[in-house]
């Protein structure tokens, strides 16, 4: 899936320059997919406690947030609500 994003991104986002400006989004997607994947793989091979898996998912979500991929607007009827200080918790949730 990540390879498909990398290949298709220049076409989807209007050229190489636009792709480079949005690279943090794709890096965030890659992190968000890769960290839990490896946590699940280790769990399948060796067995991991639930708290460790939850911690891996939390680290992945925080890494994505740190790269700037955030939920800042919540659709609510005809006017979206600004998440404000709740953007971190909303994104991680």
Q: What are the tokens at 5?
A: 């994003």
pLDDT tens digit sequence for 4-24: 666 666 666 555 556 566 677
Phi, psi of 27 (to 5 degrees): -65, -40
Phi, psi of 81 (to 5 degrees): -95, 135
pLDDT band at 57 (very low <50, low <70, confident <90, very high): confident
Over residues 35-62, the mean pLDDT reads: 87
pLDDT band at 90 (very low <50, low <70, confident <90, very high): confident
Q: Which of the residue ranges 22-31, 33-42, 71-80 would you say has the lowest mean pLDDT?
A: 22-31
The structure's pTM equals 0.63
Please check whether residue 88 is in contact with residue 65, taking contact to mean a CB–CB distance below 8 angstroms: yes
Q: What are the tokens at 76?
A: 């609510």
């Amino acid at each position: 899936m990540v390879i498909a994003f990398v290949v298709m991104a220049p076409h989807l986002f209007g050229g190489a320059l636009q792709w480079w400006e949005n690279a943090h989004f794709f890096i965030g997607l890659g992190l968000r997919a890769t960290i839990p994947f490896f946590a699940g793989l280790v769990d399948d091979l060796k067995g991991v406690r639930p708290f460790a898996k939850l911690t891996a998912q939390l680290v992945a979500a925080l890494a994505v947030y740190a790269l700037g991929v955030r939920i800042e607007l919540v659709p609510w009827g005809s006017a979206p609500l600004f998440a404000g200080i709740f953007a971190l918790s909303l994104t991680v949730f």
